[in-house]
Amino acid sequence: MKATRRSIQAVLRWLRRQPPKIKAFLAVVSGLVALVFLRMVVHDHDNLFVAAEVVHSIGISVLIYKLMKEKTCAGLSLKSQELTAIFLAVRLYCSFVMEYDIHTLLDSATLLTTLWVIYTIRFNLRSSYMENKDNFAIYYLVIPCAVLALCIHPRTRHFIVNRICWAFCVYLESISVLPQLRVMQNTKIVEPFTANYVFALGVARFLGCAHWVLQVLDTRGRLLTALGYGLWPLMVLLSEIVQTFILADFCYYYVKSVLGGQLVLRLPSGVV
C-alpha cells in the first residue's frame, strides 16, 4: 500500500513539473480514455445522465450535512446556489411543458434541497456567510446567457418562449459554478465538505458531458439533428464541455490532495 502511494506521489510530482501545454494534453487524453471506458462498460448511455443527476444530489446532500453539523456556511457561495436554483426552476418549467420524465423528478428533488440551502445561508447561518469573498456579480452571467438564448435556441415545434427558456437553462448551468470557484480563489483554503461538494459537481458535469458525446457517437450524429438545426446542437455540446473544463483544474488538485492524505485542500494562485 505504501509502495503504491509512493508511486502515485511520484507521478503527481512529475505532473507538477510539466508545462501547462503538457498538462492540458494529458488532461484531454485522460478524458478520452475515460470516455472509451464508459462506452465499453455502460451499455445504455442514458444512464449516464441519470448518474450525473444522482451525483449532483449527493453533492447537495454533503452540503446539507455540512450546514447541519458544523452550523457554518463559510466557504460557500450563495450566488452559485441561487444560479443553480434559477436554472433548475427554468428546466423544471421546460420539463412540464415540453417533456416529462425521470429527470423531472430528480430536478424537483435537487431544486427543493437547493432552496433549503439558500434559505439556511440567508437566514439561519447568515453570520458565517463570507459575503466579501462571494463577490462575483451574477448579472455578468445571467444577462449574457439570456441574450445568447434569444439568439441561439432549439428550432423545434415548441412554443418560442419555451425554446428560449430551454436554451437559457442550458447556458446558465454550464457557468453556474463560477461564483463558488471565485470564493475558493479568494480564500485559497477549502475545507473538506465544500471540496467534496465541488468535486461531486465536477464528476456530475463529466458524466453529463460523456452522455451527450457518446449519444452523438452512437447515433452517428443523428442526435444533433434531433435537437434541432443551426448552431443549437453545437452549443449544447459546447456547454457540456465548458462545464467539464471549468471544474477540471479543481478536480485535479482535489484528487492530488486526497491521495496525499490532506484533509484541507490548499489551492495555488490562479487555479480557479
- Residue 215's closest CA among 200, 203, 225, 230? 225
Decide which of 19 and 186 is more confident: 186
Decide which of 197 and 250 is more confident: 197
The pLDDT confidence band at residue 169, using thresholds 50, 70 and 90, is very high
The Cα 218–Cα 232 span in angstroms is: 19
- Across 216-231, average pLDDT: 62
Reply yes or no on whether the pLDDT at 110 is more than 90: no
The pLDDT confidence band at residue 143, using thresholds 50, 70 and 90, is very high
Task: Return mean pLDDT, the chain.
Answer: 79
The reported pLDDT for the residue numbered 120 is 94
The pLDDT confidence band at residue 69, using thresholds 50, 70 and 90, is confident
- Across 32-57, average pLDDT: 73
Reply yes or no on whether the pLDDT at 229 is more than 80: no
> In degrees rounded to 5, what are phi and psi of residue 265?
-90, 125
The reported pLDDT for the residue numbered 149 is 94
Decide which of 77 and 44 is more confident: 77
- Across 143-164, average pLDDT: 89
The reported pLDDT for the residue numbered 179 is 93
The reported pLDDT for the residue numbered 88 is 92
> Minimum mean pLDDT among 71-85, 211-225, 227-241: which range?
211-225
Percentage of residues of the chain with pLDDT beyond 70: 69
